[in-house]
């Protein structure tokens, strides 16, 4: 399964949910129509995506929040798993793109990349449910039901390692936080 | 509680509690701070104000951003050493994304009989103000009860200018 194929399925289900995308998932997410509407990019603080999404989820409990995280990114703020679980945010869906490397900085392996089990960590932290999916057909079949489950839910997406590099689009909102707040609360 | 020869005075928890309530904040985000433990205990009894505890200060700064984006008006309560730990979130989220981020920061480890710049103070005490100045983060002190209105000043500035502001609490709250 390629990252773009998995994200294409998620984009089809986004609806009026809010997304938070980080690092190398950002170009694909824009290409697939998941952004810029109702989206926040996180490029300036690796590891922050899940905590940013948690804040939005707590402030907007009626709206689903989809965090598109990376394995290297999540490892930088792993304590967020406990905070997310402890919050009981029922509208929080945590997608972790697992390719086993720090892609942005040159494909260095993440620690313990051959044995880390993010779904098990999420369950251990107290998420309502967690899944590891590496087959596109399985994801296509199960995603609608998963997105109707009570959160917080993690979906660890095991994807192929890809070396081609898309550029981050230049036409992103210049004030992403202000833009999204205006869309959500009309400030 | 005021220590003999102190250059800063303790602020009663109920005074700070009321000042926080008067701000109209939506959430209190904390990483536990020994220096402000009486304030945290007081706020913990405030059923109308959600208080959320985080593992790290950078995480709390990011959740603050998400809450604000979603329409909330949170306040952070952390300690000085945690602020040092959170410099990347302070820079990459609060500053670069222009997010109102008001932080009440306990000066944990401060010798209350000496000014902050005294050579005998620990590095966290001596360096926090120069670091904040370097980061271009406005900061205020609450060194005695009459300084409590500085919290309102800092909170309003964070909203008006969409930036982080810090209030340094000099003596342990009582």
Which residue range(s) make up the domain with B116? 13-169
- Asked, for residue B134, whether it belongs to a domain, the answer is yes
- Asked, for residue B1, whether it belongs to a domain, the answer is no
Helix, strand, coil percentages for chain B (3-state, nearest 5): 45, 15, 40
Burial (CB < 10 A; 0-12, 13-18, 19+), residue A32, is: middle
Domains of chain A from N-terminus onward: 3-185 (3.40.50.970)
H/E run at residue A153 = strand A153-158
ipTM for the assembly: 0.96
- Asked, for residue B174, whether it belongs to a domain, the answer is no
Q: Report the distance separating Cα B156 and Cα B104, nearest Å.
A: 13
Per CB-CB distance under 8 Å, the chain B contacts of A80 are: 55, 59
- Main-chain dihedrals φ then ψ at residue B8, nearest 5 degrees: -130, 150
Give the number of beta-carbon pairs within 8 Å between A and B: 110
pTM of structure = 0.96
Q: Quick one: pLDDT band at residue B174, thresholds 50, 70, 90?
A: very high
Per-residue pLDDT tens over the stretch A117-154: 999 999 999 999 999 999 999 999 999 999 999 999 99
Q: Check CB contact under 8 Å for A177 and B65.
A: yes
Q: What size, in residues, is chain B?
A: 174
Domain count, chain B: 1
Distance from CA of B160 to the nearest CA of A (A): 13
Q: Report the distance separating Cα B10 and Cα B2, nearest Å.
A: 6
Q: Which domain CATH number covers B30?
A: 3.40.50.970
| B-chain residue closest to A49, CA distance | B62
Per-residue pLDDT tens over the stretch A58-99: 999 999 999 999 999 999 999 999 999 999 999 999 999 999
Question: In the 3-class helix/strand/coil scheme, how is B2-37 assigned residue by residue?
Answer: CCCCCCCCCCCHHHHHHHHHHHCCCCEEECCCHHHH
B99 touches chain A (CB under 8 A): yes
Total Cβ atoms within 10 A of residue B48: 5
Alpha-carbon Rg for chain B, nearest whole angstrom, is: 15
Q: What size, in residues, is chain A?
A: 187
A40 contacts A180 by C-beta, under 8 angstroms: yes
Mean local confidence (pLDDT), B112-128:
93
A104 touches chain B (CB under 8 A): no
Residue % of chain B over a pLDDT of 70:
98
């Amino acid at each position: 399964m390629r990252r773009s194929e998995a994200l294409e399925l998620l984009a089809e289900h986004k609806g009026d949910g809010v997304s938070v995308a980080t690092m190398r998932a950002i170009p694909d997410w824009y290409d697939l129509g998941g952004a810029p509407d109702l989206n926040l990019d996180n490029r300036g603080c690796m590891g922050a995506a899940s905590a940013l999404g948690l804040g939005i989820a707590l402030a907007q409990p009626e709206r689903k929040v989809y965090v598109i995280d990376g394995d290297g990114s999540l490892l930088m703020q792993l304590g967020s798993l406990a905070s997310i679980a402890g919050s009981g945010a029922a509208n929080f869906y945590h997608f972790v793109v697992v390719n086993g490397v720090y892609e942005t900085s040159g494909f260095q392996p993440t620690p313990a990349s051959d044995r880390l089990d993010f779904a098990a960590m999420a369950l251990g932290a107290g998420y309502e449910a967690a899944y590891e999916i590496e087959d596109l057909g399985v994801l296509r079949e199960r995603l609608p039901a998963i997105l109707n489950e009570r959160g917080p839910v993690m979906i660890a997406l095991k994807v192929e390692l890809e070396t081609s590099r898309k550029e981050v689009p230049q036409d992103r909102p210049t004030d992403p936080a202000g833009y999204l707040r205006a869309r959500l609360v009309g400030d | 509680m005021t220590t003999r020869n102190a250059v800063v005075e303790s602020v009663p928890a109920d005074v700070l509690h009321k000042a926080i309530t008067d701000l109209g904040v939506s959430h209190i985000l904390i990483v536990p701070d020994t220096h402000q433990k009486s304030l945290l205990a007081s706020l913990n009894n405030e059923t109308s104000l959600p208080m959320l505890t985080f593992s790290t200060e950078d995480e709390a700064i990011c959740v603050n951003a998400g809450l604000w984006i979603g329409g909330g008006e949170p306040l952070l309560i952390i300690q000085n050493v945690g602020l040092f730990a959170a410099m990347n979130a302070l820079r990459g989220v609060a500053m670069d994304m222009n997010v109102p981020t008001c932080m009440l920061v306990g000066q944990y480890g401060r010798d209350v009989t000496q000014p902050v710049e005294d050579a005998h103070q620990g590095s966290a005490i001596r360096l926090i103000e120069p670091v904040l100045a370097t980061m271009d983060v406005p900061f205020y002190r609450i060194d005695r009860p009459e300084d409590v209105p500085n919290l309102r000043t800092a909170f309003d500035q964070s909203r008006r200018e969409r930036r982080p502001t810090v209030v340094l609490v000099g003596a342990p709250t009582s």
